[in-house]
Chains A and B, each alone.
Chain A
Amino acid sequence: MGWLDWVVLLVTLFAIVAYGTWKTRKNNNLEGYLKGNNSENWATIGLSIMATQASAITFLSTPGQAYEGGMSFVQFYFGLPIAMILISVFFLPIYYKLKVYTAYEYLEGRFDVRVRSYTALLFLISRGLAAGITIYAPSIILSTLLGWNLQLTCLMIGVLVIVYTVSGGSRAVSLTQKWQMAIIMGGMFLAFYYVIQSIPDSVNFSEGVDIAGSLGKMNIIDLDTDLSNRYTLLSGLTGGLFLFMSYFGTDQSQVQRYLGGKSLRESRLGLMFNGLVKIPMQFFILFIGVMVFVSFQFNKPPIVFNKHTVKMSAQEKQELKGIENAYDANFEEKKSEIMNLPDNAQKSDYKKIQLLQERQDEIRADYKAKLYQIDPNYESKDSDYIFLTFVLDFLPTGLIGLLLAVIFSAAMSSTAGELNALASTTTMDFYKKFISTSDDERKDLRAGKWLTVMWGVFAIGIALVAGLFENLIQLVNLLGSLFYGTILGIFLVAFFFKKIKANAAFIAGLIAQATVLIIHYINVTSNEGKLGYLMYNVIGSAVVILIAFIIQYTTDPPKSEKEIEILDKL
C-alpha cells in the first residue's frame, strides 16, 4: 500500500465524517435527532436503506462466495421486492399515521407496554451484538492482509462512526450514507473494470462467462425443494420474504431510515427503489467474484488466501512445499488447456478442464487441512480474503486506497445506522418510557446522544473481544434469523389479527422465541439433515400467530358484534 493509497483512504473517510458533522451541526431537538425532522427525499431514503443493509462484509464476502460456490446466493434476495411491496402497503402507512419514533412504539397502542418492551429488547440484543461484528468482521480481514493492528482498525471504524452519529443523529447518518453508497458503487465498478482487464486479450467477455459457466459458477437458480439447502428459489421466496419483512418492516435500523422521509410518498418510493435495485446490485457483486475466478484461471492465485502466518517445523514446510508444487503444475496444465480451447468450444471440450479444476480444489483443501493440523487456530475458510487479495495484487496504487475506502465506508454506514437505531430504541422505548419523567427536550436530546456513545462503545467492546469467541461470531451471524421470526410474528398479529389482545400476543412471543432457540439447538447438535437458518423466520412468525390464536380463543374468546351490543346495553 503506497502513500497515495493512504491519502485517498484518509481524505475520503475524513471528508465524509466532516460533511455529516457540518451539515447537521444545527440539530438541537429530539425529533430532528431521531427522525431528521422528516426532511429526506426518496433517493436519500433508498440509498440510506441500501447502505444500512450492505455492510463491509457484503463487499468482502460476496465476491468470495461467488468465486467458491457460484451465483446461487442471489436467490437469498428474491423475497426482498415482495417484502418491499407488503411493507409499503401495510406497515408504512400505519407508522406514518401514528407518527411513531420507533416501530415498537406502535405495539404499545395496539397491545400494551409489555409487548412493546419485549419486542424492543429482542431488537436491542440482536442488533447490539451484530453492531460489534459489523466492525470486527472487516477489521480482521484488513489486519490479516495488510498487517494492520486489529484493535486499532476496530477503534478507528468505531470512533469515526461515533463522531458524526452522536453529533448529527439520524440526518447525519442518512446524508453520509448517500455519499458512502456513491463511493461504494463507484469503487466496485472500477474493481470490475480491472478484473476484466486482468483477463488476457485473447479471451473475450462471452468466452470468460462460458469458462465460469462450464466450471459451475453460473448456477444462479436452484429448483431443489430440500429445506436443508440454504440458497434455493423456494427458500429465497419464503424464508427470504419473512426475513426481509422482519428486517425492513420491524428492525429499527431500517424503519428509522424511511421514517425520516418528507412524506409517505417519498418513503414508499425509497422502498420501491430498494426493491428494484437490490437484486441487480447483488448480482453484480457476485458476478465480480465469478470474473475474479475467471481471471485466476490465467493468473495463478495463491494456494490459500488467508495469509495468517503459521509457525511450523522444517519437515512440515517441506511437506507443504510438495503440495505447492503439485498445485503449480496443475494450474499450468489447466491454463494451457483453457488457452487451447477451440473458438466455438462445446461442453465436451471442457471435460478435462473441469477435472483439473476439481483437482485444484482438492489440493487447496489438502493444504488448508495440513495448515489446520499444524495450527488449530488457522481459519481455513478463506473465501472472505479472495476479493481483497485481488484488489491488492491487481489494482494500481491510489485505487487500492479507494477500494479500502469502499470497505471502510460500508462498515461505517451500516454501523452508523445500527448505533442510531439502538440509541433511538433505548431513548424512546426505555429511557423516556420508564426513566425520564419531565418533558425537557434538551435533557432528552442529551440522553439520546449519550446513549449513542454508549452503544458505540459497546459495539467497539464486542469488536475487540470478538476474536476470542469464534462461536460467538457464528451465532451473531445467525442472530437476525433467531429473533426476527418472533418480532415479525408479533407485528403480523398486530396488523392483521385485530381480535388478538395483549396477553395472548405477549405469551405467544415468549413461546415462539423459546421454540426457535430449541429448534436451533437441535439443529446444531443433531447429525440429521439440517434446517436452513432462513426457515427460522418462517417458524418464529408462524408459532407466534398460532399460539396467540390458541390462547386468545381458549382463555378469552373474542365477542361477536351482537354480544358486544348486548353487553353495552347492560
Chain B
Amino acid sequence: MGKGSMKEYNDPNDTTNWKAWYVALALVLAAQIVVFLILTKSYE
C-alpha cells in the first residue's frame, strides 16, 4: 500500500486533525511508561 493511498478510504468532510490525536496518544503512552519506570526504580 503506497504512501497516501489511504486517502481514498477517508471521509473528505472530516476536518479532525488525526495526526495530532495519534501523536498525543503515543506521547501519553511514553509518559506512562516513564512514570511507571520511575516508580519501579524507586522501590528496587
**CB contact between A272 and one of B1, B25, B36 (< 8 Å): that residue:** B25
**CB contact between A279 and one of B10, B16, B29, B39 (< 8 Å): that residue:** B29
A279-B9 in contact (CB<8A): no
B9-A97 in contact (CB<8A): yes
Q: B residues 1-37 with Cβ under 8 Å of A?
A: 1, 6, 8-11, 14, 16, 18, 21-22, 25-26, 28-29, 32-33, 36-37
Residue of A whose beta carbon sits closest to that of B42: A213
A276-B25 in contact (CB<8A): yes
A214-B26 in contact (CB<8A): no
**CB contact between A276 and one of B28, B37, B39 (< 8 Å): that residue:** B28
B16-A89 in contact (CB<8A): no
Give the distance to chain A from B41, nearest Cβ to Cβ, in Å: 8
Give the distance to chain A from B4, nearest Cβ to Cβ, in Å: 12
A496-B22 in contact (CB<8A): no
Give the distance to chain B from A345, nearest Cβ to Cβ, in Å: 13
B33-A221 in contact (CB<8A): yes
Interchain CA distance A498-B43 in the complex, whole Å: 50
A78-B25 in contact (CB<8A): no
Give the distance to chain A from B36, nearest Cβ to Cβ, in Å: 4
A94-B25 in contact (CB<8A): no
Residues of A within 8 A of B10 (CB): 93, 264
**CB contact between B18 and one of A88, A216, A219, A220 (< 8 Å): that residue:** A88
Residues of A within 8 A of B28 (CB): 81, 276
Does A193 interact with chain B (Cβ within 8 Å)? no
Residue of A whose beta carbon sits closest to that of B15: A265
Does A143 interact with chain B (Cβ within 8 Å)? no
Q: A residues 65-111 with Cβ under 8 Å of B?
A: 71, 74, 78, 81-82, 84-85, 88-90, 93-94, 96-97
Give the distance to chain A from B37, nearest Cβ to Cβ, in Å: 5
Give the distance to chain A from B24, nearest Cβ to Cβ, in Å: 9
Give the distance to chain A from B43, nearest Cβ to Cβ, in Å: 3
Task: Given A218-B43, A221-B33, answer yes or no on A84-B11 (Cβ-Cβ < 8 Å).
Answer: no
Residue of B whose beta carbon sits closest to that of A97: B9
**CB contact between A218 and one of B11, B25, B29, B39 (< 8 Å): that residue:** B39
Residues of A within 8 A of B22 (CB): 85, 88-89
A213-B43 in contact (CB<8A): yes
B25-A220 in contact (CB<8A): no
Does A495 interact with chain B (Cβ within 8 Å)? yes
Give the distance to chain B from A68, nearest Cβ to Cβ, in Å: 17
Chain A CB count within 10 A is highest, among B11, B16, B21, B43, for B43
Residues of B within 8 A of A71 (CB): 36
A264-B11 in contact (CB<8A): yes
Residues of B within 8 A of A216 (CB): 43
Task: Given A213-B42, A272-B25, answer yes or no on A221-B36 (Cβ-Cβ < 8 Å).
Answer: yes
Does A51 interact with chain B (Cβ within 8 Å)? no
A74-B14 in contact (CB<8A): no
A265-B16 in contact (CB<8A): yes
Residues of B within 8 A of A90 (CB): 1, 6
A84-B25 in contact (CB<8A): yes
B6-A264 in contact (CB<8A): no
Residues of A within 8 A of B25 (CB): 81, 84-85, 272, 275-276
Interchain CA distance A272-B6 in the complex, whole Å: 19
Does A233 interact with chain B (Cβ within 8 Å)? yes
Residues of B within 8 A of A221 (CB): 33, 36-37, 40
B9-A96 in contact (CB<8A): yes
Give the distance to chain A from B26, nearest Cβ to Cβ, in Å: 7
Give the distance to chain A from B13, nearest Cβ to Cβ, in Å: 9
B36-A498 in contact (CB<8A): no
Does A263 interact with chain B (Cβ within 8 Å)? yes
Residues of B within 8 A of A78 (CB): 29, 33
Residues of B within 8 A of A81 (CB): 25-26, 28-29
Does A171 interact with chain B (Cβ within 8 Å)? no
B14-A219 in contact (CB<8A): no
Known: A89-B22, A265-B11, A279-B29. 18 other contacts (CB 8 A): A81-B29, A82-B26, A84-B25, A88-B18, A90-B1, A93-B6, A96-B9, A96-B11, A97-B9, A213-B42, A216-B43, A218-B42, A219-B43, A220-B37, A263-B11, A268-B16, A279-B32, A280-B32
The 6 closest A-B pairs by CB, nearest first: A213-B43, A93-B9, A220-B36, A97-B9, A81-B29, A218-B43
14 contacts between A and B (CB under 8 A): A74-B36, A81-B26, A82-B29, A97-B9, A213-B42, A218-B39, A218-B42, A218-B43, A220-B37, A221-B37, A263-B11, A264-B11, A265-B14, A272-B21
Q: What is the interface of chain B, defined by CB distance below 8 A to chain A?
A: 1, 6, 8-11, 14, 16, 18, 21-22, 25-26, 28-29, 32-33, 36-37, 39-40, 42-43
